[in-house]
């Protein structure tokens, strides 16, 4: 499933472009639901961090069933909830539906309220009307719930237009199948097209989920993050630890396994200078880990990171990024240290 679309991590090589200048005449403030944040999306802005469930069931990239088990994942789920992290982000393609099924099983055994986000993959052959609604209902069956809190388009894949998918998302809201709707991996121009199409239905675009971390700052450098802030679109940062590189556990001599190692080969020799700055800041913050520094940096940028956790220990480490803030000087120091390493555009 991943290979046929040239997946590389969460990056799909099949992309589409929207002509520049298409929205120059749109006065976005007039579409901002009276200039105020829509009440239906406010909850997303109150959440500092969620949990990414990409690895829950994924064998190809994360080695599910080899280096960790369902029991380990259950530990990550329970610990996250215990630490106050209540939003779980998944997708129909994660583990070919296994991620959603696991979450559905866990939900049956917890009384703690959980916020659910999942995604629809707009494969090119999904051209029939209501394809999105059918897929959403299948996700709800796997999750064993009547509705989710956020339903997202996973990638802007042709041939179906962005506007057509937004029309279906609006219908999903109207039918009570999802509380809010969002997009993922949308560039600014694509996001604005989605925002405008939903606004015609008086449905707000709640979020845009993109890769964003200290080694990939394209969301920030391109203006996407600023536009999200302007329009009250919550930017959700996936792979916030750069698939483990920002934890400091990997080196040139000990790279990540499999596909992640091949992807990291170029950056690993250059990484120690950034990790040194992160470690020093962590010590100044009372012993915070590199991972916690990386996550808190994203929170300070006004985003919601959704780090993965394959076991209870990782979930507990992630939670240590909450309840404190980097200083402005520390954020600036991390910006500077990452500048020579980062993808900017």
Q: Which residues are catalytic?
A: 94
Q: Are 9 and 259 in contact (CB under 8 A)?
A: yes
Q: What are the distances in angstroms from CA 139 to CA 97, 131, 158?
A: 8, 12, 22
Distance CA 168, CA 207 (A): 16
Return the closest-CA partner of residue 230 out of 5, 27, 25, 16: 27
């Amino acid at each position: 499933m991943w290979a046929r679309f040239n997946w590389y991590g969460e990056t799909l090589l099949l992309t589409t472009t929207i002509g520049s200048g298409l929205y120059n005449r749109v006065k976005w403030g007039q579409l901002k639901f009276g200039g105020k944040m829509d009440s239906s999306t406010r909850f997303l802005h109150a959440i500092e961090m969620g949990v990414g469930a990409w690895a829950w069931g994924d064998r190809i990239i994360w080695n599910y069933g080899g280096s960790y088990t369902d029991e380990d994942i259950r530990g990550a789920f329970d610990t996250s909830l215990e630490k106050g992290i209540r939003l779980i982000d998944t997708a129909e393609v994660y583990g070919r539906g296994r991620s959603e099924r696991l979450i559905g099983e866990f939900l049956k055994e917890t009384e703690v309220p959980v916020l659910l986000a999942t995604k629809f993959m707009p494969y090119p052959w999904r051209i029939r009307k209501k394809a999105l609604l059918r897929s959403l209902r299948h996700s709800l069956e796997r999750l064993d719930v009547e509705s989710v809190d956020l339903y997202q388009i996973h990638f802007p894949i042709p041939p179906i237009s962005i506007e057509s998918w937004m029309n279906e998302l609006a219908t999903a809201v109207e039918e009570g199948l999802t509380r809010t709707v969002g997009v993922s991996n949308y560039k600014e121009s694509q996001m604005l097209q989605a925002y405008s199409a939903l606004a015609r239905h008086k449905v707000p675009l709640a979020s845009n989920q993109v890769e964003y971390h200290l080694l990939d700052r394209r969301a920030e450098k391109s203006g996407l993050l600023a536009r999200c802030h302007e329009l009250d679109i919550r930017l959700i940062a996936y792979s916030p630890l750069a698939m483990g590189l920002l934890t400091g556990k990997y080196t040139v001599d000990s790279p990540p396994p499999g596909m992640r190692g091949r992807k990291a080969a170029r950056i690993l020799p250059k990484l120690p200078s950034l990790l040194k700055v992160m470690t020093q800041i962590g010590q100044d913050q009372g012993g915070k880990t590199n991972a916690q520094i990386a996550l808190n940096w994203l929170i300070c940028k006004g985003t919601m990171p959704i780090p993965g956790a394959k076991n209870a220990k990782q979930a507990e480490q992630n939670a240590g990024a909450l309840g404190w803030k980097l200083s402005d000087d520390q954020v600036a120091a991390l910006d500077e240290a990452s500048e020579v390493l980062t993808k900017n555009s």
